[in-house]
């Protein structure tokens, strides 16, 4: 005997254990196969049960028709998009409702940072440690605040005149719109001076955004580099207020959302395989950009015209103010208007503003700024 009886028994037991352990995966496989088979029969049974129902037969025959299947799919995309939009809106509203002051500050900081700003000066914002204003910010602030205050008074006068005109016409829709504008503009306003990093490029800009309504942002560089006179600065501020008066900032956001919906519907209709999605999205993106650029250029022209009226109603000399555009063109260069440009060429804007400023000055300044303008100036710059 090669092995003792006891040793032989031990070896055989160990072999058996090994064989059993090798067998186990196979038995597991068999049981999972059994599971699949059971699931398969269950599904077949359920399908057979469903096929006996008339409603199911009707639904599946309808779903086989492309003119029903595709609108259904498009509808599903739209509903999904709507649900996502509504959820985002609700989350934003909840955050705002919980702490409006903190949310406003957060939005303000986000706008300043996204524009490349590092510090800012505005009532109450000094408390933000990350954005402490420097001497330069305060110096620019002292020049910007009075002009914004007077231009806001000019914008309020413009809104008041529109309401008067609407009331005279008696059209309810016009009256409601004009009243909404008066309400929007009569609330408190802010002017924020934004500083850029030391040693960075001089960042010449002024803007308004729907995220911070009734807030005008002006960069330090715009004032320090262009050195505008109050009349010139009023033309720039008037233009920005013009965007808010015309509702451009909100319109742009809604337009973008609508374009995104249109893209969803088109893709749901035209892309049965899913392969065209990427190409389609890129092509649509370009078309949308082109459309938004044209929309933006039209808005700029409208804001220029409204801005002239606002500055004139604030009793600034808009004829002299138009030199702001010349200074801007010299400092930043004027590119010819292209299909993709969001702004018309600065040179063209300068020419348009110069020609229309004469009429605006004559119509507004002469009749409005003799007594009222002086009173307004005293009120604001006291």
Structure tokens, 319: 């004829």
The DSSP line for 237-292 is HHHHHHHHHTTHHHHHHHHHHHHHHHHHHHHHHH-SSSTTHHHHHHHHHHHHHHHH
- The nearer residue to Zn ion, 231 or 300, going by C-beta atoms, is 300
Structure tokens, 274: 């899913």
- The nearer residue to Zn ion, 267 or 303, going by C-beta atoms, is 303
Per DSSP, the three-state class of 202 is coil
CB of 304 to Zn ion, least distance (A): 8
Give dist(CA 192, CA 112) in Å, integer.
9
CB of 199 to Zn ion, least distance (A): 28
- The nearer residue to Zn ion, 303 or 364, going by C-beta atoms, is 303
CB of 230 to Zn ion, least distance (A): 20
Q: Which residues pair with 120 in a beta bridge?
A: 194
Nearest to 96 by CA among 211, 208, 251: 211
Structure tokens, 275: 């392969």
- The nearer residue to Zn ion, 196 or 346, going by C-beta atoms, is 346
- The nearer residue to Zn ion, 303 or 369, going by C-beta atoms, is 303
Helix %, strand %, coil % of the chain (to 5): 75, 5, 20
- The nearer residue to Zn ion, 131 or 346, going by C-beta atoms, is 346
Give dist(CA 17, CA 268) in Å, integer.
58
Torsion angle defined by CA atoms of residues 162, 167, 169 and 170, in that order, rounded to the nearest 10 degrees: 140
- The nearer residue to Zn ion, 167 or 335, going by C-beta atoms, is 335
CB of 260 to Zn ion, least distance (A): 23
Per DSSP, the three-state class of 64 is coil
Burial of 40 (0-12, 13-18, 19+ CB in 10 A): exposed
Give dist(CA 265, CA 242) in Å, integer.
34
- The nearer residue to Zn ion, 303 or 313, going by C-beta atoms, is 303
CB of 343 to Zn ion, least distance (A): 7
- The nearer residue to Zn ion, 263 or 304, going by C-beta atoms, is 304
CB of 325 to Zn ion, least distance (A): 12
CB of 243 to Zn ion, least distance (A): 6
Sheet of strand 206-207, all strands in order from the earlier edge strand to the far edge: 119-121, 190-195, 215-219, 206-207
Element (DSSP H or E) covering residue 121 = strand 119-121
CB of 342 to Zn ion, least distance (A): 9
CB of 332 to Zn ion, least distance (A): 14
Q: Are 163 and 175 in contact (CB under 8 A)?
A: yes
Q: What is the DSSP letter of 273?
A: S
Q: Which residues contact 266 (CB under 8 A, 6 or more apart)?
A: 280, 284
Site residues for Zn ion per CB under 5 A? 300, 303
């Amino acid at each position: 005997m090669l092995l003792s009886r006891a040793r032989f028994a031990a070896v055989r037991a160990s072999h058996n254990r090994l064989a059993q352990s090798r067998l186990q995966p196979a038995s597991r496989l068999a049981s999972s196969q059994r599971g699949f088979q059971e699931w398969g029969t269950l599904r077949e049974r359920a399908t057979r049960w469903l096929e006996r129902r008339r409603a199911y037969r009707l639904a599946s025959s309808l779903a086989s028709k492309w003119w029903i299947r595709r609108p259904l799919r498009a509808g599903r995309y739209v509903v999904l998009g709507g649900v996502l939009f509504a959820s985002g809106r609700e989350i934003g509203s909840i955050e705002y409702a919980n702490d409006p002051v903190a949310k406003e500050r957060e939005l303000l900081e986000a706008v300043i940072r996204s524009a490349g700003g590092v510090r800012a000066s505005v009532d109450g914002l000094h408390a933000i440690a990350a954005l402490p204003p420097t001497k330069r910010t305060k110096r620019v602030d002292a020049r910007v605040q009075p002009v914004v205050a007077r231009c806001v008074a000019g914008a309020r006068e413009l809104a008041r005149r529109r309401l008067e005109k609407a009331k005279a016409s008696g059209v309810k829709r016009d009256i409601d719109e004009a009243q909404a504008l008066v309400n929007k503009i009569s609330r408190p306003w802010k002017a924020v001076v934004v500083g850029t990093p030391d040693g960075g490029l001089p960042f010449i800009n002024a803007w308004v955004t729907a995220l911070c309504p009734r807030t005008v942002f002006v960069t330090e560089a715009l004032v320090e580099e262009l050195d505008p006179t109050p009349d010139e600065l009023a033309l720039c501020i008037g233009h920005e207020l013009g965007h808010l008066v015309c509702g451009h900032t909100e319109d742009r956001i809604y337009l973008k959302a609508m374009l995104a919906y249109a893209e969803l519907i088109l893709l749901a209709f035209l892309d049965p395989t899913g392969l065209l999605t990427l190409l389609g999205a890129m092509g649509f993106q370009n078309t949308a950009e082109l459309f938004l650029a044209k929309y933006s250029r039209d808005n700029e022209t409208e804001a220029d015209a409204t801005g002239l009226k606002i500055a004139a109603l604030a009793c600034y000399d808009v004829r002299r103010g138009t030199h702001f555009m010349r200074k801007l063109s010299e400092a930043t260069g004027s590119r010819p208007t292209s299909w993709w440009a969001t702004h018309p060429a600065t040179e063209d804007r300068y020419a348009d503003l110069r020609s229309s400023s004469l009429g605006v000055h004559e119509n507004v300044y002469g009749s409005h700024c003799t007594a009222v303008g002086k009173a307004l100036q005293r009120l604001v710059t006291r």
